[in-house]
Amino acid sequence: MYLSHFGLREAPFSLTPDPEFFYGYSGHQEALNVLLVALRGGEGFIKIAGEVGTGKTLLCRKLLSALDEGFRAAYLPNPLLTPFELHKALAQEFGIKTPAEATLHDLVKQVTKTLVELNRRGQKAVLCIDEAQAMPTESLEALRLLSNLETEKQKLLQIVVFAQPEFNTLLQGDALRQLRQRITFSYELPPLDGAGVAGYIRHRLRVAGYGGGDLFAPAAVAAVAAASRGIPRLVNVLCHKALLAGYGQGVPVVDVAQVAAAIRDTEDAAPSRRGFWDEPLHRWLGAATAVEAVLLLWLLWSALA
C-alpha cells in the first residue's frame, strides 16, 4: 500500500463517509449551516438534494455528529420500507421495545408517546433518511403523517431527507403534493468547483496525516477536477488510483501521467463535452504551467475521443 511511501497515517480517499474528512467548502458548509439553523429553529421537514457522489451521506453523518444533547436523532440509511417497516425502524432507533404482534396502530401510538416524552424533557427528535428517492409513495405519505405530530407550539418530530435529484421530480406528482407543501427548507448540494477540488484534496491528505508540500502537482489537480466534474466520490476514486500509480512508479509527487492512468481505469471519469468545454480554462488549469496545460488538454481530449 502507498501509505508509508507518501507519509500518510491512513487512506485519505476512502469512500467510507467518515465525518472527520468532511470538507466545509462552499455549498457543503452552507448546507450544514442550513440544516443546523433549521433544526434548532424547530422546522418540521427539510430536504437536501444532490447528484450521485456529491457527499450527501457524509453530510448526513456530519450533521448527526454535530447535534448536541438537546437532540435525539434517528438515522435510516435504507428507506426502501413499507409504512409498517418505517414505523418499526423508527421505534427501534428510539429504543422502543415492540412486541412481535404489534400492529401499525400500536407502533404509531408508541412512537407518539415517546416523542411526547422527549419533548417534555426538552429534547428535539430528529429523523434523518438517506437515499429518500427510493422510498415507496405510500411510505412517503406515512412520513408526511409523522411530520404532522406536534404540540400547540412545535413539531414533535423533525425530518431531514437526503435524496438524489429524481426525488424532486417524484414530489411534483399529485399524490405527494401535501408532502411537497410540508417542506420548509430545501437545499441543492452542488459539485465542487476547481478551487474546491484543490482544497478538498489538500484537506483529505492533511486529515490523513500528510505534512509535506503539495502531493499532487497543479496540473494533476486540474485533471482530477475536470475528469471528476467536481463530484467528490469521483475525486476520491481518481486520487486513490493516482496514488497507487505513483507508488508503483516510485515517484514522490503525483503528476498528470498518474492521473491519466486513473482516468483510463475509471469508467465514469471524463468531463462531459458541454460541461467542460463551456467552462473557462482557468477554472480547471489553476496554477499549471504552459507545458502542463498542454499535457492536460491532450489528456482530456483523449478521454473525450
Q: What's the whole-model pTM score? A: 0.85
With CA atoms as reference, report the closest residue to 88 among 73, 74, 118, 108. Answer: 108
Predicted local distance difference test score (pLDDT) of residue 281: 44
Edge-to-edge order in the sheet of strand 157-163: 71-76, 124-129, 157-163, 45-50, 185-189
For the record, the C-alpha cell of 123 comes out as 429534547
- Spell out the alpha helix ranges (H) of 48-190: 56-66, 83-93, 104-120, 137-147, 166-171, 177-182
Per-residue pLDDT of the chain (305 residues; tens, 9 = 90+): 799 999 999 999 999 999 999 998 878 999 999 999 999 988 889 999 999 999 999 999 999 999 999 999 999 998 899 999 999 999 999 999 888 889 999 999 999 999 999 999 999 999 999 999 999 999 999 999 988 888 777 889 999 999 999 999 999 988 899 999 989 899 999 999 999 999 999 999 999 999 999 999 999 999 999 999 999 999 999 999 999 999 999 999 999 999 999 999 998 887 654 444 344 444 444 545 555 555 555 565 555 45
Predicted local distance difference test score (pLDDT) of residue 100: 86
For the record, the C-alpha cell of 151 comes out as 404540540
Domain 27-189 in CATH 3.40.50.300: yes
With CA atoms as reference, report the closest residue to 136 among 112, 105, 167. Answer: 167
Domain boundaries, the chain: 27-189, 192-304
For the record, the C-alpha cell of 278 comes out as 463551456
Q: What angle in degrees, to the nearest 10, is found between the helix axes of 194-207 and 218-228?
A: 110
Provide CB contacts within 8 A for 127, sequence distance 6+. Answer: 73, 74, 75, 76, 90, 93, 146, 157, 158, 159, 160
